[in-house]
Structure 1
Amino acid sequence: MQPLEIPKIGWLVFRFSPCHWDWDYSSDERGAAPSLRKEAALRLRSHTRYYIPRCCPPAAIPAVRGEVAVSWRPSTEFAGNLYKGEGILPASPHKVWECIKPVAGGLRTKWDQNVKDFEVIEAITDTVSICRTTTPSACMRIISPREFVDVVVMKQYEDGTMLSAATNVEHPLCPPQPNFVRGFNYPCGCFCIPVPGEPDRTELLTFFQTDLGGYLPQTVVDSFFPSSISGFYSNLTKAVKALKA
């Protein structure tokens, strides 16, 4: 068995810091992050498109409190889009994390309509693992079941922010399976960010950068992700409300 090559996890985590979306800079530039935040926001506003659920008024763009704002821009990783979701959930970061953390036997398969099964193929450390996720068919079966194999990292920051980040990887114990199309997640992640002064509310910042694989019309892909991310937030909100205190 050939040794497994794990991607540079540190780069993955830092690239998706809450201050910068798809903003690459080295460790020497970390101190400059706050000063770049305004410039990054202005650039994103001029280069991103927004999807707002029908129940939200146009005035809510670009950030919708209590709902979700979904924006996207062309990916630099593959011929697709990088999607960003933003929303405030009515629960503590701990409860939100309990629902989304990528662990075997976790709650994700119970509430997320786009996750059929989740398994840990190999645990590298307590916070780094190789995982396989399968998804059901979608868009009236136009999108057939998919499978994804990723290296996943979990991290908690000093301010209480909790992160789950991932990117695709090949693993000898997980070759492509029959009846599934192999898809590929490029650097993506979820941030559970505490809301200052409001312990029972959490800002959830998500990034999705997925190549579904197969031969799908681009119009199907473009319509699937914004509505899927909106549904992700809606179903997660129901899940955290259902958790016992």
Structure 2
Amino acid sequence: MIKLIYPKISKKRIEMDSALNFPELADVLTDRVLEYYHEEEWKLLKVEDDVTVSCKKSRDFAGNVYRGDCVLELEPEKALSYLLPSPHGRRQKWDSSVSECIVLIDVTKNITVSKVSATKLLQGLISDRDFVHLDVVKTFSELNLTCVNSCSIDHKDYPPVDDYVRGTTHPSGFFLKKHKDRCKTNLTYIAQAEANGRIPRYLTEAATGSHIIGVFKDLIKDIESAKV
């Protein structure tokens, strides 16, 4: 199924009149990000404050796919709420890299359309971006794993606006796996995005590793503050 359907996701954002319906697209998206999650032979980029970032060549576009890993001092069931867009979750409250992260459409309980507005990166060299995502939450009980996966879509009701460059998120996601300590969670972040506009790809690539570490630090800080 991946070989037949997936090129419609990887070569351009999904259009709403696509022959794929949301549940079908959600399954393809989840399968794709799960492939990256299980892959080996990642190139280590940096380790900072117990956060590890690595990368490899993406199969979805000309850039790299990045992987961040850390351990959260919180059980998976509670950690999940930190990764969802408002009002279903707390992502907008703690992530300093986004100015807005909201649900636009509830398709089903676990499938939504959301908008993410990203703040400037590299001291303004990468200007404000926004993204319209299909988001999918899925639990694999046999793997003790829950994932929140996203990819860009085109939606006629939410076209690009003048204040933002419309970016593209290729299949990406957060994975929450039960730790041997039941009060902790192994968190993995698979990320691959294009800033678009006139930004050279090397600038986007240069910012991604630090961006992932920043996301993890923001999340850990918010979790710790909630315990005080």
TM-score, length basis structure 1: 0.78
- How big is the shift at 1:128? 0.7
Task: Report runs of 4+ in structure 1 exceeding 3 Å deviation.
Answer: 2-7
Mapped to 2, the partners of 1:51 and 1:228 lie a distance apart of 13
Are the structure 2 counterparts of residues 130 and 87 from structure 1 closer, same or farther at C-alpha, using a change threshold of 3 Å? same
Out of 163, 182, 185, the residue aligned to residue 169 of structure 2 is 185
Does 1:52 pair with 2:46?
yes
Gaps of 5+ in 1: 23-36, 57-66
Mapped to 2, the partners of 1:15 and 1:76 lie a distance apart of 10
1:4-43 equivalences under 5 Å are 5=20, 6=22, 8-17=25-34, 20-21=35-36, 40-41=39-40
Task: Using CA pairs under 8 Å that are at least 6 residues apart, name the structure with larger relative contact order, 1 or 2.
Answer: 2
Mapped to 1, the partners of 2:119 and 2:216 lie a distance apart of 18
Mapped to 2, the partners of 1:16 and 1:222 lie a distance apart of 19
SS in 2 for 1:241: helix
TM-score, length basis structure 2: 0.83
Mapped to 1, the partners of 2:89 and 2:159 lie a distance apart of 23
Out of 88, 108, 117, the residue aligned to residue 71 of structure 2 is 88
SS in 2 for 1:116: strand
Are the structure 2 counterparts of residues 81 and 51 from structure 1 closer, same or farther at C-alpha, using a change threshold of 3 Å? same
The percentage of aligned residue pairs carrying the same residue is 24
Contact 1:102/1:164 (<8 A) preserved:
no
1:220-239 equivalences under 5 Å are 220-239=203-222
2:146 alignment counterpart:
162
Are the structure 2 counterparts of residues 78 and 215 from structure 1 closer, same or farther at C-alpha, using a change threshold of 3 Å? same
Give the aligned residue type for 2:44. Answer: Y
1:59 alignment counterpart:
none
Contact 2:133/2:151 (<8 A) preserved:
yes
Does 1:124 pair with 2:101?
no
Write 1 or 2 for the structure with the bigger share of strand: 2
- How big is the shift at 1:105? 5.9
Out of 164, 176, 183, the residue aligned to residue 200 of structure 1 is 183
Deviations 1:25-74 (A, max 9, x none): xxxxxxxxxxxx7xx53xx2xxx422224x56xxxxxxxxxx11111112
- How big is the shift at 1:80? 1.2
For the aligned residue pairs, the C-alpha RMSD in angstroms reads: 2.1
Contact 2:194/2:204 (<8 A) preserved:
no
SS in 2 for 1:232: helix
User: How many aligned positions are there?
Assistant: 209
